[in-house]
Amino acid sequence: MKKASILMIIGPFFLLGLYVFPLWNIMLGAPQYPDPLGLNIHINGLQGVNEFDIQNIDGLNHYIGMHTLPKVEDMWEFGTFPIIIGIMVGLGVLIGVLGFLEKVSYKWFLGWFALMSLMGIMGMYDFNEWLVDYGTNLDPNAIMKLTNPDGTPMTYKPPLLGHVKMLNFDVTSLPATGAWLMFLGMMMTLAAGFLGWKDKKTKT
């Protein structure tokens, strides 16, 4: 249980990477953008991969009537996510310490993991909702109103994960360093739960 608890204490700390590194990354390459434009999605706001990328993405998107990318004050998520992550780290470490002191069982470890996973899924859902809105809620007076071959208006939702060809742009959306650190941390807590369970099994 000691080994499991140490893992449980360390694991949540990896979530702190989210305060430094982006959670997600979307790259937009096109013939005239051999150095692609890029968007880093942090838990507390959006940043261009290069300094002026956001301005340039907004500049291009105005032709097809997309809204500008949200500023920190435009989305409650950018205020709330950092708090949630902070609470989860604190909670995870606390559970780990209590486990070390044999005050709580491995089930709490798995409980933290389950809660974190649930929140992750909710976060992804929320993110996807924003992508849908960003890509489909278009200005009716857009300069270019393009239609699909079947006559429906063309929309521009970036992919949640993977690559999509959108007009002249190749759009690739992937988890970034912050997310990978979070996954690593969560896997450690899952391993902590597993070790705790095995420990318990051998003892009984």
Partner 1 sequence: MKVKHHLIPALGAALMLVSCGQQNQSSNGALSSSAAEKVYVAPGEQDEYYAFLSGGYSGNLTVYGLPSGRMFKEIPVFSQFPTSGYGYSEETIPMLNTSHGFVPWDDLHHPDISQTNGELDGRWIFVNGNNTPRIARVDLGTFETAEIIEVPNSAGNHSSSFITENTEYVVAGTRFAVPVPQRDMSISEYKGNFKGALTFISVDPEHGHMAIKFQLLMPGFNYDLSHPGRGKSHGWFFFTTYNTEEANTLLEVNASQNDKDFIAAINWKKIEEYVNNGGGTKMPANYAHNVYDEHSHTGTTTMRDEVLTVDPTKVPGAVFFLPTPKSPHGCDVDPTGQYIIGNGKLSADLTVHSFDKMIAAIEGGKFDGEAYGIPILKFEDVLAGQVKSGGLGPLHTEFDGKGNAYTTFFISSEVVKWQLGTWEVIDRKPTYYSVGHLMIPGGNSRKPFGKYVVAMNKITKDRYLPTGPEMEHSAQLYDISGDKMELIYDFPTHGEPHYAAGCPAELLAPKSQKIYRLDENRHPYAVTTADGAKVVRDGNEVHVYMSTIRSHFTPDNIEGIKVGDKVYFHITNHEQDFDVPHGFAILGQNSSELLVMPGQTKTSVWEPKQVGVWPFYCTDFCSALHQEMQGYVRVSPANSNVELKWSLGE
> Looking at beta carbons only, is 101 or 143 nearer to partner 1?
143
State in angstroms the smallest separation of the CB of 46 from partner 1.
Answer: 16
Angstrom distance (rounded) from CA 124 to CA 115: 14
**Residue 165 CB burial class (10 angstroms; 0-12, 13-18, ≥19):** exposed
State in angstroms the smallest separation of the CB of 141 from partner 1.
Answer: 11
State in angstroms the smallest separation of the CB of 59 from partner 1.
Answer: 6
List own/partner pairs for 97-102 with CB under 8 A and 24 or more apart: 97/5, 97/9, 99/1, 99/4, 99/5, 99/8, 99/192, 99/196, 100/1, 100/2, 100/5, 100/6, 100/9, 102/1
State in angstroms the smallest separation of the CB of 21 from partner 1.
Answer: 25
> Looking at beta carbons only, is 72 or 144 nearer to partner 1?
144
Binding site for partner 1 (CB under 8 A): 35, 51-52, 55-56, 59, 63, 143-144
> Looking at beta carbons only, is 142 or 174 nearer to partner 1?
142
> Looking at beta carbons only, is 52 or 125 nearer to partner 1?
52
